[in-house]
Amino acid sequence: MKITNDIFNVGVNDHNIDLFEGQYIVPNGMAYNSYVVMDEKIAVLDTVDGNFSDEWLRNIENVLNGRTPDYLIVQHMEPDHSANIMNFMKAYPQTVIVGNAKTFVMMANFFEDTDSFDKLVVKENDVLSLGNHTLTFVFAPMVHWPEVMFTYDSTDKVLFSADGFGKFGAADVEEDWACEARRYYFGIVGKYGAQVQTILKKASALDIQTICPLHGVVLTENLGYYLGLYNTWSSYGVESDGIMIAYTSVYGNTKKAAEILADKLTEKGCPKVVLCDLAREDMAEAVEDAFRYGKLVLASPTYNADVFPFMKHFILALTERNYQNRTIGLIENGSWASTAAKVMKEMFSKSKNITWLETTVSIKSAVKDDNIIQLDNMADELMK
């Protein structure tokens, strides 16, 4: 795909994959993007997943039209982007591999005989001239690996953003960008909000007209929208006005309480209520919604003096991603020694800026009239 007169996307679309990184459901596949900058000297940016070696090399050959590349720029060493480094070097052995010091440490971990290739070790803000095009390397450590760097082409005003601004889904599928980009961001990058904030500040000093990520589609219009969402996500801000109710239920009683609360919130005018059965929802979707909205209600039965396993998994997924700046309410159910509310609250002990609702709903086996009153009080508190 031609991006500018001199820049081409030679990546591939994977419609065979079912789980990305062995855990994220990707019904619309994945894109593994790779880019070629054609100039007096030619630079290839990143490779693709190991299952697509032949297709990717053919794509490069078609763009090169008989020429040979001068540089292979490695922005990220994760295997879905680096797996074909050795295959590329076999095809084009005179190419200089460009990366930072950490890149080459990782490269030696993945591959044998890397010392046999010519290397160019770059530092933050180093510049590489291709002729008309000037590339500047902008380091982005822990977005989301320590060696990650972005590359900025000041000629065509293109930011090659590694995994930043990526999304689930192949590039040849039309779908809403925000949904799959949000699920991708919070699933994979969400823990590293502070590091994303740092790279956003660096990017704000650049005149960017196109963003070329390693996953998903190339972004060419309304870039303020994408940058704004990344700022909200990485600062753990509230994106949308609404309330999420996440529940687990054994015999349906805790589910009933969650549904009653959802109905009451709707009746009271809540603009959006998301009701999530954690045993059946894609966990990445549940995590995405928890970060999207500013208020969260957790409903769980006590289970082995703890909380139900799906709830524990969900809370751990939130806290390991630095869940913060939110309001949380608790609904617990227990037939004798109920501990769910206490356990759930303790799991957030290291989370920043959590506001707890004064109302905690405590159910003993089945929802009773006093629980209905508690749920109504909780709805009023959430609507304030």
Distance, in Å, from the CA atom of 263 to the CA atom of 122, rounded to the nearest integer, reads 57
Global pTM value: 0.93
For the domain covering 7-234, report its CATH number. 3.60.15.10
Amino acid at 225: Y
The full set of domain ranges for the chain reads 7-234, 240-383
pLDDT score at 147: 97
Question: Per-residue pLDDT tens for 35-63?
Answer: 999 999 999 999 999 999 999 999 999 99
CATH architecture of the region 240-383: 3-Layer(aba) Sandwich (3.40)
pLDDT score at 23: 94
Distance, in Å, from the CA atom of 139 to the CA atom of 186, rounded to the nearest integer, reads 21
Residue 281 has pLDDT above 90, yes or no: yes
Residue 226 corresponds to which tokens in the numbers above? 């994408």
Mean pLDDT of 327-344: 94
Rounded alpha-carbon distances, angstroms, from residue 1 to 55, 157, 263, 383: 14, 18, 48, 49
Question: Per-residue pLDDT tens for 284-312?
Answer: 999 999 999 999 999 999 999 889 999 99
- Give Cα 383 distance to the centre of its chain: 30
pLDDT score at 115: 86
Rounded alpha-carbon distances, angstroms, from residue 379 to 53, 220, 263, 274, 297: 55, 42, 9, 14, 10
Question: Per-residue pLDDT tens for 67-92?
Answer: 999 999 999 999 999 999 999 999 99
Distance, in Å, from the CA atom of 234 to the CA atom of 105, rounded to the nearest integer, reads 28
